[in-house]
Amino acid sequence: MLRGIPCTLMRGGSSKGLYFDARDLPKDRAARDAVLLAAMGSPDARQIDGLGGAHPLTSKVAVIGRSRDDKTDVEYLFLQVAVDAALVSDGQTCGNILAGVGPWAIENGLVAPAGDSTPVRIRMLNTGGVAVAHVPVREGAVEYEGEARIDGVPGSAAPIAIEFLDVAGSSCGALLPTGAPRERVDGLEATCIDNGMPVVMLRAADLGKTGRETPAELEADGELRARVERIRLALGPRMNLGDVSGKTVPKMALVAERPEGTGVMTRTFIPHRVHEAIGVLGALSVATGCLLRGSVAAELSRMGPRQGRQRVEVGHPTGSFTVELEVEGEGDSLHVRRSAFLRTARKLMRGELYVPSRAWSAP
């Protein structure tokens, strides 16, 4: 027999995923994971028996519930469902899928719409951090249509401004989890940083790359992929993440000069596929590295240490991502007071998703 679950399919930023009310999923983690694997159609390279899109960027889940504290409105748990493995991971959060959480919360009665822009305070359960999404509202309903454009997504939509307050070190315990802006590993220099997402930055040139290769070209280079993964496994414990062989963090960012201006060009392993753009929180960490004295990104970004409010452009395979940061201090005493960016979202489908009943009683 099949069992129906209320579900919304949404595009959040440059990702796509399934959004659920926490009350509609099993409380037992193993049963919940079995339900989500069945929902996406994993493990299968095509995810033909589910709603997954055969790529990590389209095999994502948001689980949302009313907040249990008075500082936020809703709680958001992000889950990455592997495409070709029976794995559901909560080891990271996702800033793109986050873009759809505010609209979903309003449409499902967790937050009342107010004015032309409704702030939704979101507790990100993966990291404990807080984000505030400013959701456009028109005549008491979420407004999805507008003129805002983000690279990696065709067309335009209503802008959703998202602010992060004090998320540095939310996964690793410190902005610089190794205690220094630069590490040496496998004969290369690397910067390990966590401003909402654990990221390892490497100079693309040190790996024989320009930073302008297509994702397909990088994925076809087996020697490069093996070396990047070797570095990731070596740095995971140094970043207080333990054994990362079965985790989706840290992300691995190859950085290069961006001729169009300040900032850097990136190609990001997430960690085994190459992102068609760049993850939101990954972009925050890379942008922070551009302002960090001694990092491998600072010398390429032509920005160097700066104080106060700064705008950093992070280039990626399908365009660029603008990050706004407010910082103080330098080097290992750098403090990020505020991080912000602009995303869009669109509701694609709302109804019931059907999975085999046996998934609900999985061991």
- Output phi, psi for 11, to 5 deg: -90, 125
Same domain, 301 and 353: no
**For 205-221, what is the mean pLDDT?**
97
Of residues 145, 266, 282, 148, the one with CA closest to residue 213: 266
Q: Is the pLDDT score of 335 beyond 90?
A: no
Is 164 a domain residue? Answer: no
Q: What CATH number has the domain bearing residue 214?
A: 3.10.310.10
According to DSSP, residue 161 is labeled: E
Q: Which residues contact 37 (CB under 8 A, 6 or more apart)?
A: 43, 81, 86, 88, 359
Q: What is the pLDDT of residues 72-127, one digit of tens each?
A: 999 999 999 999 999 999 989 999 999 999 999 999 999 999 999 999 999 999 99
Q: What is the average pLDDT across 243-263?
A: 92
pLDDT value of residue 57: 94
Asked if pLDDT for residue 68 goes beyond 80, the answer is yes
Q: 323 and 353: one domain? A: no
Q: Is the residue at 74 inside a domain?
A: yes
Residues 267 and 188 in one domain: yes
Say whether both 193 and 105 belong to one domain: no
Question: CA distances (Å), 238 to each of 23, 27, 172, 180, 335, in order?
Answer: 37, 33, 10, 11, 21
pLDDT at 304: 66
Read off the pLDDT of each residue in 216-229 and give the average, rounded to a whole number.
Answer: 98
Element of type H or E holding 226? helix 222-238
155, 145 in Cβ contact below 8 A? no
Each residue's pLDDT tens digit, 40-57: 999 999 999 999 999 999
- Domain residues for the domain of 90 are 2-159+345-361
Residues in the chain: 363
Which residues are paired to 65 by β-bridges? 75
**Domain-located, residue 138:** yes
Work out the burial of residue 328: count CB atoms within 10 Å of its CB; fewer than 13 is exposed, 13-18 middle, 19 or more buried.
Answer: exposed
Q: 337 and 198 share a domain? A: yes
Whole-number pLDDT of residue 78: 98
Has residue 35 got a pLDDT over 90? yes
Q: Which amino acid is at 183?
A: E
Give percent of the chain above pLDDT 90: 85
pLDDT at site 337: 86
Whether the pLDDT of residue 195 is over 80: the answer is yes
Q: Is the pLDDT of residue 275 over 80?
A: yes
pLDDT of 249 above 70: yes
Do 153 and 195 lie in one domain? The reply is no
- Output the pTM of the full model: 0.80
Write out pLDDT tens, residues 145-163. Answer: 999 999 889 999 999 999 9
Share of the chain above pLDDT 70, in %: 99
pLDDT at 363: 66
Distance (Å, whole) CA 47 – CA 49 = 6
Contacts of 227-233 spanning 24+ positions with Cβ under 8 A: 227/186, 228/202, 228/252, 228/269, 228/271, 229/271, 229/272, 230/186, 231/185, 231/186, 231/188, 231/190, 231/200, 231/202, 232/200, 232/269, 232/271
Count of CB atoms situated within 10 Å of the CB of 298:
22
In a shared domain, residues 94 and 124:
yes
pLDDT of residue 305 exceeding 70: no
143 in a domain, yes or no?
Answer: yes
191 and 132 in one domain? no
β-strand 198-203 against 251-257: which pairing, if any?
Answer: parallel
In a domain, 90, yes or no: yes
Q: Check if the beta carbon of residue 22 is closer than 8 Å to that of residue 30.
A: no
Whether residue 76 sits in one domain with residue 23: yes
User: Residue 177 falls within a domain, yes or no?
Assistant: no
Residue 229 and residue 149 share a domain: no
Domain count, the chain: 2
**Half-sphere CA count of 358, side-chain side, radius 13 A:** 1
Asked if the structure places residue 330 within a domain, the reply is yes
Q: Specify if 325 maps to a domain.
A: yes
Judgement on whether residues 113 and 91 belong to the same structural domain of the protein? yes
Q: Are residues 310 and 335 in the same domain?
A: yes
